[in-house]
Amino acid sequence: MASIAFIGLGNMGVPMAANLVKAGHTVTGFDLVPAALEAAKARGIAVADSAKAAVAGAEVVVTMLPSGKHVVGATTGADGLFAAAKPGTLFIDSSTIDVASARAFHEAAKAAGHESVDAPVSGGVGGAEGATLTFMVGGTDGAFAHARPYLEAMGKKIVHCGGAGAGQAAKICNNMILGISMIAVSEAFVLGEKLGLSHEALYEVASTSSGQCWSLNTYCPVPGPVPTSPANRGYQPGFAAALMLKDLRLSQEAAGTAGAATALGAAATALYTAFAEAGNEGKDFSGIVEWIRERDDT
Ligand code: NAD
């Protein structure tokens, strides 16, 4: 069993760290927010006075932070965690961040003599609680093999996507599909309503025909056809629109850098920006169907 430091004890970090404790590891966490430290303590996670104190003596360091600037800021530089950790530490960054920052994280880890993987997740807070997350992993074969048992304690499906940054690339490509497909499904339901088609009839046809997709079959944005979807509980998240927008923006940043044409990704980003700015950032992202319904393009 390993000594693990866990940096970033937010909505995802606390349950993920708790699953490492359950697997028998010694976990010491740190967060800048005192309430997060209290939440961690209540789940059996030891807490340190600083991130540096948490990584002292750790064999593995997991970061679960808001964005690329937080990850690069916390780990690199003379005052960062790479400098503070003992040589040969394995760094696992599970935050969702831009590909360029992920590559900078790997380069700095290597320069400091550490192993590293980018390992963003899908599955949300429910997946973090139930240890059923999917991890999309970028890094060398050796670092992946080393990280795998720790990821297995927190997730169900672990995919090695390629070298440095490949995990983040897979995550933002997947979520670009998700954002676009949710808008497509929502537009189809609103058009169906205006054509006098019932939700049930459209669902029965499309969910078993060529229109089927996760946004329709599992996460249907109108109440009724899929009783477990957020549409049946007032669009409480689930997956908040603010997080969808974050991932869509990352996709557009990456598309710009890589020179990829993503016209629908750009349109989805613009629509989720307008939806969020209308005060909906805390709603589930499938709530965009209501906003689409309210827009009258006659
Ligand atoms: P969160 O805001 O709840 O938690 C992030 C935590 O990091 C906060 O508690 C914050 O205080 C802490 N933090 C920031 N800078 C720090 C530093 N320098 N040192 C220590 N702690 C610091 O966010 P979350 O929902 O837990 O998400 C974490 C990451 O996972 C994000 O990158 C997010 O995009 C990604 N993600 C979230 C979900 C989800 O459903 N919430 C799903 C998939 C991926």
Segment 99-120, tens digit of pLDDT: 999 999 999 999 999 999 999 9
Provide the CATH topology of domain 3-163: Rossmann fold (3.40.50)
Measure the CA–CA gap between 51 and 6, rounded to whole angstroms. Answer: 9
pLDDT 10s digits, 224-233:
999 999 999 9
171 is catalytic: yes
pLDDT at residue 253, rounded to an integer:
96
pLDDT grade, residue 13 (50/70/90)?
Answer: very high
Task: Please check the confidence at residue 296 and state whether its pLDDT lies above 80.
Answer: no
Distance from residue 11's CA to the centre of ligand 1 (Å): 7
Q: Is the CB of 74 under 6 A from ligand 1?
A: yes
Measure the CA–CA gap between 43 and 232, rounded to whole angstroms. Answer: 31
Q: Is the CB of 32 under 6 A from ligand 1?
A: yes
Q: What is the mean pLDDT of residues 204-217?
A: 98
From-to residues of CATH 1.10.1040.10 in the chain:
169-297
Distance from residue 101's CA to the centre of ligand 1 (Å): 16
Q: What is the mean pLDDT of residues 126-149?
A: 97
- Report the chain's mean pLDDT, rounded to a whole number: 97
Q: What is the mean pLDDT of residues 208-216?
A: 98
pLDDT at residue 297, rounded to an integer:
74
Provide the CATH topology of domain 169-297: N-(1-d-carboxylethyl)-l-norvaline Dehydrogenase; domain 2 (1.10.1040)
pLDDT at residue 105, rounded to an integer:
98
pLDDT grade, residue 28 (50/70/90)?
Answer: very high
List the residue whose alpha carbon is closest to atom 30 of ligand 1. Answer: 95
